[in-house]
Amino acid sequence: MANAAESSPNPLPVLPLPDDLTALAKPFMVGPVRVERPFVLAPMSGVTDSAFRRTVQRASRNTVGLLVTEFISIEGLTRSNLKSAMRLAFDPLIERPLSVQIFGAEIVRMADAARIVADHGAQIVDINCGCPAPKVVRRGGGAELLRQGDHLARLVEATVAAVSIPVTVKIRSGWSADCVNAVEIAQKCVGAGAQMITVHGRTRMQLYTGEADWAIVDAVARAVPVPVVGSGDVTTPGEALYRLATTQAAGVMIGRAAIMNPWIFGQLADLVAGRPERPITGHDRLTLLRAFRDMQAERVPEFAIPGRMKQLLARMTKGFAHGTLLRERAMRAQTTAEMFHWIEGFFEAVDAGTVTAWADAARPEAVER
């Protein structure tokens, strides 16, 4: 079986990590909120809903240091939009500590939205200043705030004044290669009361292309007196520890790698503790997907579940022999039951060592006989 986790497109240099890896995995404080492990689940639009956050937390044995929601519009939140309210939902017994990320540009509405977040029971409210999507930027939110430093400072100051929970800010390295201003923006945000900064090491114009620049993460961490979390291109536990060892970042944010490998935070905990990495079996993956399906069913109608499943399945099966065929069959499924017919057969065959036989029977020409 091929390794299910994608390797980094740009492998990091071999680094002799300290014998005591716990020195790299120190907790940090966001105001009064203690983050026990410096590994953060990234906010991903359309991905990190409550079901996904709980799936990752359970798969990783409750070792995620901080969970962050997908971003929520301050317009929708303050106007009682149903979709925004659903994005705010979380399980307080599993999803802790929880940061709710909000986005927008209006100062009064941002403060009002933060109050709603605080009243809902979140431990932290995070302001998104990194989203590069044109529909967000055109309205003055997301990465556009990187070009509006004074306005952003007022936005943060008003939000801090509105709530008693910590306010944090997620930024990019800058707007473009000609405007890399993360240090200046971070200093303005901290001056206005932000208690943590997350830096994605790409500019807005890069979108998600090229390599993340961790030198700018390090520069920000050295320039401000609050914890800085770095984000970008962390795909393995070893890479997460490498970034902590070679920068002053207090934490590392993991995003797309957690879709491919929801066990990654538990693997990090094992690596730090000196425990051998436990192989992830087909049964483990099938159990996780079933649990994810059941959690989705708690909040979304049946017809919407296959779409959510396809997103997770597409990432989780990369690198598997005949994974492409599974994706083809599952992606065409119209119901959850039909999708799981293919998923269950595939992962049972993975553990039995009979994937080739499964593929022979699953090809369209065989099914249509």
Cα separation, 98 vs 123, in Å, equals 6
179 is catalytic: no
Active-site residue (options: 129, 131, 179, 189):
131
How far apart, in whole angstroms, are the C-alpha atoms of residue 85 and residue 79?
A: 10
Instruction: Give the catalytic positions in this structure.
Output: 131
